[in-house]
Every structure is written in C-alpha cells, then in structure tokens.
C-alpha cells in the first residue's frame, strides 16, 4: 500500500467545533495519526449541535456533522479537570509531533497544557493555537465563531446584495480558517525536518479570512475608498451573474471575459436582435448596461435547465456552470468520476456519503479511510498500546473517572 505524505506523524488533537477539527482532519486525510482528546462530560460541540441531527438524533455518536469533520481520527476521553488526566494528556503529547487546540486563549494554560509546559514535555513539539482573534491583543478573550470571523475579517461586508445587509457566511469561514491552520502546521513540520526545531503557531481565524480579501484593503490604502457589496458583479466582466433556469430555484452561473466569448454566447442564444444594440457593443458598455443585459440573458436561460445551459455554452468555450445544491454536488457525474464523495460505513448511523480528500496525489493518495470515531473509541489502543499502560491501571483510571 502506498505511503501517505504524513505517515508517521501523530497529532494530539484538542480541537473541537469546526475550525480546529477540520484542520486536523486534513492532516489525517494525508495519513497523520490524529488522536482526538475528548471528554464525555463536555463532548465536542458538533457531536451535540448538528444541523442534520433531525428527529432520529440519538446521542453523541450519531451526529453526521461530527462524522464529516472528524474522519480518519481516533478518539480518547479524559476528564481534563483531573490532574491525572492532564498527566495522561501530556504523555500523549510526548509521543506526538503536533498539538492542535482551538480553545479561547488562556484555556490551555489554565489546564496546565500551555506551550511552555508542553515544550518541556517535548522540546520540538509543534503547537497550533487557533482562536477567533489570536492569542495576543486586547480582544483575545472575546468569543468568536464562524460568522464573527467573516464579519471582523471584512469578508462579510463585501458579500451580499448591494441593496441589503452583509451576509453572515456561516461555517465555511471555519473551514477556510482550518485550511490555513493545516498549511501552517505543514510548514512548521517542514522547518522541524530541516532544523529539529518545533514552535508555537498563533492563528487568528479572523486574520485567515481577512487575507482573502486583500484588494479591498489596497483600495482603501491606495485611494481611501471603502468597497462594498456588489452582489454577483465583477469589476469588469459582464455578463457575470447567476441566471434563473426552468425549474423553480435552479440557477446557472455565466461569466464572459473576452470579445470572443461574448460572440460565442450571442451565437448560442441564436443571435437575437438585442445583442446588436450599441449598448452591448463592447466590454465597457456591457458592464455599464449589465442590469438590462442580465435581464435579457435571464429571458433565455429560463427556457433551459442549468445543465443544458452549461452544455450549450461550454461547447463554445463560454464559462457556464450550474449553481449546484448539496444534493446535486453528490449527483454530478463529473464529481462522481473524480471521486469527490466517498461512502463511509458508520457503526451508529450506517452508510454515509462524505466529502473525500480534496487533493489527488499521484504517489501518496490521500483519502478518507474511516468514519468519525465514537466517543472514546480508542482509549484502549492509545493508553494500552501507545502509552503502554498496564490493563489494571487503565481500569482503575476508568473507575476514577479520569478516563471518562
């Protein structure tokens, strides 16, 4: 079996909710052994509050969202209020390469697991602390979730219809932050491979979102101007929008960048008389008159399904892609062929379709290999085999509620 890129790397994963776990899951997809340190007293957020919980929700091992965000990982349970549990956690850290946590700044310190302490335990440990606004600064103790990252980071202000309020941009902000975390950890691993040095990574989710809207800042620093919401508009492309299709609430996105593409679009629409109007005769004029342009194009797309529009336009080299719903993402033939989704068998909730690894490595194929762990599923393996605790000690710790 092919070696995976992070094979041999072990992550002591203290993260919870979305932003942290997705980061460590990415590492897990690449082959790292991710040990999620949980507690039955205070289970991970996403085990309990799940959008897809539904009426059949039956407990912390049945949350589909948790499953989606914690594939490939192992789970141990420790009551972190107990000193002995903290010791055990340190022992896990001792045999790990990476520690990841996304508590509010100060929490790990209070638990006795701050970076300075963990550095004593393992001098070259790489520790990621992901928080809403970072580990330093006057607001570091503030609470933040995904919507606040986008709001504070400036992306929310730029997203939305021109005539209404900023759009909150939900969980995806977490996942964007998580991807940045994973990248930072990989960079630190590389540095450690070169120098033997570990380090502490202080990651502010707000900042990870802010860097994605750089132009807006430059507009301000260069010209003192504050960009705002433009709906689906582009700086200069037109047409550039989503257009209504035959079925209720079905949409196709179309974007035209060059004169050739415009001609191809007109031709595909059957060269209606209105395309010859002076108003649409060059890129600049199309942009100026795009409201009318959008309306007219919508009158064409409404006769077709999004897939039909995509096929007609892609054939002539025009960028058109349906606005996929969640279901359509799983049904789309292209994504299917790419292996976008994988079926995972979960002991409690059965067969689930999950999103597979987002990279296709030619030599070290990263992929989903197991379901999100049941609570404490790997206590025996971690404490017994990895830490080498004798069986009776484990039983005692369970009885004491240290391992809970």
Partner 1 sequence: MAGVKVLEYADLISGPYCTKLLSNLGAEVIKVEQPKAGDYSRSVGPFPNDVPDPEKSGLFLYLNANKLGITLNTKTETGLALFKELAKSVDILVENHPPQEMEDAGLDYPSLRQINHRLIMTSITPFGQNGPYRDYKAYDINIQAAGGLAYVTGDAKREPLLTPWGQAGYQAALNAAIGTLSALYWREASGLGQHVDISVQECIASILGDVISFYSYMGMVKPRCTTLSDLSGVTIWPMDIYECKDGYVDICILEPHQWQSFVDLIGNPGWASDPKFEDRRLLFERTEGQEVPDLGPLIKEILKKYTVDELFHGGQQRRIPITPVNDAQGVLHFPQLKERGFFVEIDHPEAGRLTYPGAPFKLSETPWSLERPAPLLGQHNKEIFSNRLRYPKMELVKMAEAGII
Residues lying near partner 1 in the complex (CB under 8 A): 235-236, 278, 281-285, 287-288
Q: Which is nearer to partner 1, 87 or 282 (CB)?
A: 282
CB 349 within 8 A of CB 64: yes
How far apart are alpha carbons 356 and 329 in whole angstroms? 12
How far apart are alpha carbons 245 and 251 in whole angstroms? 5
Min dist CB 221 to partner 1, Å, is 16
Please compute Rg for the chain using Cα positions.
25
Min dist CB 156 to partner 1, Å, is 24
How far apart are alpha carbons 230 and 212 in whole angstroms? 17
Min dist CB 279 to partner 1, Å, is 10
Q: Which is nearer to partner 1, 143 or 222 (CB)?
A: 222
Q: Which is nearer to partner 1, 114 or 227 (CB)?
A: 227
CA–CA distance from 253 to each of 229, 237, 285, 310, 336 (Å)?
A: 18, 13, 21, 9, 21
CA–CA distance from 24 to each of 73, 132, 145, 175, 363 (Å)?
A: 9, 17, 18, 11, 22
CB 308 within 8 A of CB 254: no
Indicate if 392 belongs to the active site. Answer: no
Q: Which is nearer to partner 1, 207 or 234 (CB)?
A: 234
Min dist CB 300 to partner 1, Å, is 23
Token output for 376: 């404490």
Q: Which is nearer to partner 1, 65 or 275 (CB)?
A: 275
Min dist CB 236 to partner 1, Å, is 4
CA–CA distance from 316 to each of 163, 236, 265, 319 (Å)?
A: 34, 21, 8, 9
Min dist CB 253 to partner 1, Å, is 20
Min dist CB 219 to partner 1, Å, is 11
The 3-state DSSP class for residue 374 equals coil
C-alpha atoms less than 13 angstroms from C-alpha of 335 in its C-beta half-sphere: 17
If residue 342 lies in a helix (H) or strand (E), which one and from where to where?
strand 341-346
**List of residues 6+ apart from 43 with CB closer than 8 A:** 60, 375
Q: Which is nearer to partner 1, 17 or 293 (CB)?
A: 293
Min dist CB 282 to partner 1, Å, is 4
If residue 76 lies in a helix (H) or strand (E), which one and from where to where?
strand 74-77
Instruction: List phi, psi (to 5°) of 238.
Output: -160, 130
Residue ranges of E strands in 7-73: 10-13, 33-38
Q: Which of 13, 68, 97, 174 is catalytic?
A: 174
**List of residues 6+ apart from 153 with CB closer than 8 A:** 173, 205, 206, 207, 208, 209, 210, 212, 213
Q: Which is nearer to partner 1, 281 or 325 (CB)?
A: 281
Q: Which is nearer to partner 1, 61 or 290 (CB)?
A: 290
Active site residues: 174
């Amino acid at each position: 079996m092919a070696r995976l890129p992070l094979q041999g790397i072990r992550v002591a994963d203290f993260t919870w909710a979305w932003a942290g776990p997705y980061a460590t899951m990415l590492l897990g997809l690449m082959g790292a052994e991710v040990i999620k340190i949980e507690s039955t007293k205070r289970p991970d957020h996403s085990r309990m509050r799940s959008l897809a919980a539904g009426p059949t929700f039956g407990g912390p091992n049945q949350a589909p969202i948790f499953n989606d965000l914690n594939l490939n990982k192992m789970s141990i349970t420790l009551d972190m209020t107990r000193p002995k549990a903290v010791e055990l956690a340190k022992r896990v850290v001792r045999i790990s390469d990476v520690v990841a946590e996304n508590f509010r700044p100060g929490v790990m310190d209070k638990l006795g697991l701050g970076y300075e302490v963990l550095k004593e335990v393992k001098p070259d440990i790489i520790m990621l602390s992901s928080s809403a606004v970072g580990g330093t600064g006057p607001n570091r103790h503030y609470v933040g979730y995904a919507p606040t990252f986008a709001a504070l980071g400036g992306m929310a202000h730029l997203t939305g219809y021109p005539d209404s309020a900023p759009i909150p941009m939900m969980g995806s902000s977490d996942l964007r932050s998580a991807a940045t975390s994973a990248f930072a950890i990989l960079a630190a691993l590389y540095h450690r491979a070169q120098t033997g040095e570990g380090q502490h990574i202080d990651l502010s989710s707000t900042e990870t979102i802010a860097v994605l809207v750089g132009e807006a800042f430059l507009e301000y620093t260069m010209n003192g101007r504050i960009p705002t919401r433009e709906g689906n508009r582009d700086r200069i492309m037109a047409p550039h929008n989503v257009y209504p299709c035959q079925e209720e609430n079905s949409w196709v996105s179309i974007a035209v960048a060059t004169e050739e593409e415009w001609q191809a679009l007109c031709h595909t629409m059957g060269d209606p008389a209105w395309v010859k109007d002076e108003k649409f005769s060059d890129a600049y004029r199309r942009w100026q008159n795009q409201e009318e342009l959008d309306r007219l194009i919508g009158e064409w797309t409404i006769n077709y399904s999004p897939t039909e529009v995509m096929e007609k336009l892609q054939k002539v080299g025009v960028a058109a892609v349906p606005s996929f719903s969640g279901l359509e993402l799983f049904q789309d033939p292209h994504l299917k062929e790419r292996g976008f989704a994988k079926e995972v068998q979960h002991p409690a909730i059965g067969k689930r379709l999950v999103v597979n690894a987002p990279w296709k490595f030619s030599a070290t194929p990263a992929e989903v290999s197991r379901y999100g762990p049941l609570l404490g599923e790997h206590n025996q393996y971690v404490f017994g085999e990895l830490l080498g605790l004798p069986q009776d000690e484990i039983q005692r710790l369970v009885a004491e509620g240290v391992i809970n």
